Structure 1
Amino acid sequence: MSHYFIAIQLPEELQAFFSVWQHKLKEQLPYKQWPNKEELHITLKFIGEAADNKVVQLKQELQAVQELQTFNLSVGGIGTFGNPSKPRVLWAGVERTERLFELQQTVENCARKIGFEKENRAYRPHITLAKKWAGKRSLSEETLPGLHKQFTDKQTMHVADVILFRIHPSKSPKYEVVERYMLK
């Protein structure tokens, strides 16, 4: 069975913008995985493994997002998840707006209707720039504040659609568009 997730794909100009950040950050931080710029996204819901019949049902349910309005988001700045000295994820920030949370909740409710588990953790929107710390040494307390000062630019993006993606771990790019849902 394939694995799936639902996300907002970044427009090409933001893919290029964050790709420049990744290039600069690679020189300073030892992460194993740096997603291709085409793979940069804001996850709304990770589905995981799903049988074909469940995917068909999910595609039907997700049509509900088409009733929501398009909106703008501010993205930028950096942060980490995990142990501060060996953070597992390096991310770019995403503005936490009411419209984004409404969209995420709609997606969550669609998935729950057909039996996908609700995420236990609070929703923390972000754009993964790198993951899997590979450094022999820890991230020093001086490094991250320096990076916060260096990577402060914010960009605005227009959110006009939501995508159901299939994951292909051994291919590049890893993510295949299964279905695209346009907002109003």
Structure 2
Amino acid sequence: MAEDTHYFLAVPLPAEVKEMLAKWQEQLRKNLPYKQWPHPEDLHITLKFFGPVSDNKRKQLTKSLRDLEKVRGFTIETGGIGFFGNPKKPRVLWAGAERTEALLSLAELAEEVSAQAGFAKENRPYRPHITLAKRWAGDEDPNLRELEKEFTERKRIDIEGIALYKIHPGQTPKYEPFEEFKLLP
């Protein structure tokens, strides 16, 4: 039996934001020993991770996700960096995604319509971000506060749609927009 493909729902980023973040990754990579640095084309703001999904379940999910097309588009600010995990060995390096009411509502609605399609709701609070690197591999304590002061540029993005992404492990880039959902103007 073939393994089910993994999927997630996310906000795609415009090229100019990906370019800025790719430059940051290049600079940060010199000083931070992370094992994984996502390809710039793979950068996004996750709304909901689904994990393995069968074809039948994916069709049901896609139908439920069409409800998200009733949401109005909106604008957020991205930029700045931060970390998840122990400050001495931070497991994730991220760029910020503004926690607006509109983005939080979109994530909540994504949880609701996904639950209607049979997917478990996330127990943790939603923390919008763009993963720049993960899986810390260093022994030294990085000076996170200094790095946070260096990478402060911000860019506004218009969120006009979201996408269901298919994961292709072992490929670069590894995320493929599989189905797109346009938000209302």
Please give the TM-score of this superposition, normalised by the length of structure 1. 0.96
Q: Which residue of 1 aligns with 2:159?
A: 159
The one-letter amino acid of 2:163's match is I
2:157 is the counterpart of 1:134: no
What 5-or-longer segments of structure 1 have no aligned partner?
Answer: none
Q: Which residue of 1 aligns with 2:180?
A: 180
**How is 1:83-98 mapped onto 2 (pairs within 5 angstroms)?**
83-98=86-101
- The partner residue of 1:116 within 119, 129, 141 is 119
The one-letter amino acid of 1:68's match is V
Give the fraction of aligned pairs with identical amino acids, expressed as a percent: 49
- The partner residue of 2:83 within 72, 80, 85 is 80
Mapped contact 2:87–2:144 kept (Cα < 8 A): no
- Partners of 2:43 and 2:177 in 1: CA distance: 13
Mapped contact 2:78–2:157 kept (Cα < 8 A): yes
Deviation at 1:138, TM superposition (A): 2.9
Q: Which residue of 2 aligns with 1:5?
A: 8
Q: Which residue of 1 aligns with 2:48?
A: 45
Q: Which residue of 2 aligns with 1:29?
A: 32
Q: Which string of whole-angstrom CA distances, capped at 9 and with x for unpartnered residues, describes residues 73-98 of structure 1?
A: 11111111112111110000111001
- Partners of 2:154 and 2:8 in 1: CA distance: 26
RMSD: 0.8
- Partners of 1:148 and 1:155 in 2: CA distance: 16
Mapped contact 2:12–2:44 kept (Cα < 8 A): yes
**How is 1:53-68 mapped onto 2 (pairs within 5 angstroms)?**
53-68=56-71
The runs of at least 4 aligned residues of structure 1 exceeding 2 Å deviation read: none
What 5-or-longer segments of structure 2 have no aligned partner?
Answer: none
What is the number of equivalent residue pairs in this alignment?
Answer: 181
- Partners of 2:183 and 2:176 in 1: CA distance: 20
- Partners of 2:160 and 2:53 in 1: CA distance: 26
- Partners of 2:6 and 2:88 in 1: CA distance: 31
SS, match of residue 16 in structure 1: helix
Deviation at 1:4, TM superposition (A): 0.5
